[in-house]
Structure 1
Amino acid sequence: MAGGLLHCMDEAAFLQTHIDQHGFLSFLGLTVEDLEPGRLRLRVPYDEKLTNTGPGANGQVHGGVAATIADTAGGLAVRSTLDEPTQTGVATIDLNISYLRPAAGDLVCTANVVRTGSTVGVAEMTIESETPDGKLKEVAVGRGSFRIFD
């Protein structure tokens, strides 16, 4: 990615503005925590409106929230590797999520780009959740392929 650290900070602000103006991502309270070329960390704060309901749900975050944060982080991480990240679009081609355990706290997703080609980028994502004692524990892992549009 051209421009070094300053460019990355500018891109993080751009991404946060995009998220804040996006209805669904804004509803989730998604925030950019860290960004460097090929790596991105996002957070969704725990909120009861994002939990499963019914017997046995115990305040567990709905799996779709984990899939959404993984999809978003993967696509944005791929975008961070591009020469013109704020001018180039990406769209999900394929997304695979493996759920490991329930989440009942904030979700934090770290996406790492495996490869970015001329038309497709691939990223791996790890989703962690805060436990009551404040530690992060892995709750899901994923991998996504993203189409790159000029």
Structure 2
Amino acid sequence: MTGLSADQRAGFESVVDEHGLFSWLGIELEAVEDGRVVLRVPYDEKFANLVAGGEGNVHGGVTATLVDTASGFALRSTFEDPAAARLTTTDLDVSYLRPATDDLTVEAEVLRAGGSMGVTDATVSSTAPNGERKDVAVGRTSYRLFRGSG
């Protein structure tokens, strides 16, 4: 995989900054290269399913959103102009492995980016209460890619 140009990376960062949901979630772009993206979301109590005592696990919808978002960004990296890429999710499958109780990091990698369809795999990790970094979810997505003018 090759790194993206400074302009392409800036395009990704502007998408994050200008998108209401991404801004609200506090998504941070950790790494982006051709076919691979790493995003991070700091833990926030507003994302938690709170239980008695104030502790809570990150809501699964936040985790699924990260799988979808990172996957879309990874596929965007395969376009000539990632910031202007057009694509839409056609399938999203997330398997939850354990509760997430801290910041979330998701790494998405393109398995296939064809002319009209793309497929990715993603892994979400978080720091467990014992301090060890653990995978909390895995996902696979497929997207309809709109390449060219049509």
- TM-score, normalised on structure 2? 0.89
Q: Which residue of 2 aligns with 1:11?
A: 8
Deviation at 1:54, TM superposition (A): 4.0
Q: Which residue of 1 aligns with 2:31?
A: 34
CA–CA separation in structure 2 for the residues paired with 1:6 and 1:43:
19
- For residues 54 and 132 of structure 1, do their structure 2 counterparts lie closer, same or farther at Cα, with a shift above 3 Å needed? closer
Contact preservation (8 Å) 1:74, 1:144: yes
Instruction: Give the 3-state SS of the residue equivalent to 2:50 in structure 1.
Output: coil
Q: Which residue, 65, 77, 81 being the options, matches 1:80?
A: 77
The answer to whether 1:90 aligns with 2:87 is yes
Q: Count residues with an aligned counterpart.
A: 147
Q: Which residue of 1 aligns with 2:43?
A: 46
CA–CA separation in structure 2 for the residues paired with 1:119 and 1:82:
12
Structure 2: stretches of 5+ with no match in the other structure: none
Deviation at 1:58, TM superposition (A): 3.1
- Among the aligned pairs, what percent are the same residue? 48
- TM-score, normalised on structure 1? 0.89
Deviation at 1:22, TM superposition (A): 1.0
Q: Which residue of 1 aligns with 2:99?
A: 102
The answer to whether 1:138 aligns with 2:139 is no
RMSD between aligned residues:
2.0
The answer to whether 1:21 aligns with 2:18 is yes
Per-residue deviation, residues 28-49 of structure 1 (Å, max 9, x unmatched): 0001100110000000100001
CA–CA separation in structure 2 for the residues paired with 1:82 and 1:41:
17
Contact preservation (8 Å) 1:50, 1:62: yes
Per-residue deviation, residues 40-97 of structure 1 (Å, max 9, x unmatched): 0000100001101345983110000000010000011011012332332111010000
Moved over 6 A (4+): none
CA–CA separation in structure 2 for the residues paired with 1:55 and 1:34:
37
CA–CA separation in structure 2 for the residues paired with 1:44 and 1:29:
6
Moved more, 121-130 or 54-63: 54-63
Q: Which residue of 1 aligns with 2:124?
A: 127
Deviation at 1:16, TM superposition (A): 1.6
Moved more, 112-121 or 9-18: 9-18
- For residues 104 and 74 of structure 1, do their structure 2 counterparts lie closer, same or farther at Cα, with a shift above 3 Å needed? same
Which one has a larger percent strand, Structure 1 or Structure 2?
2
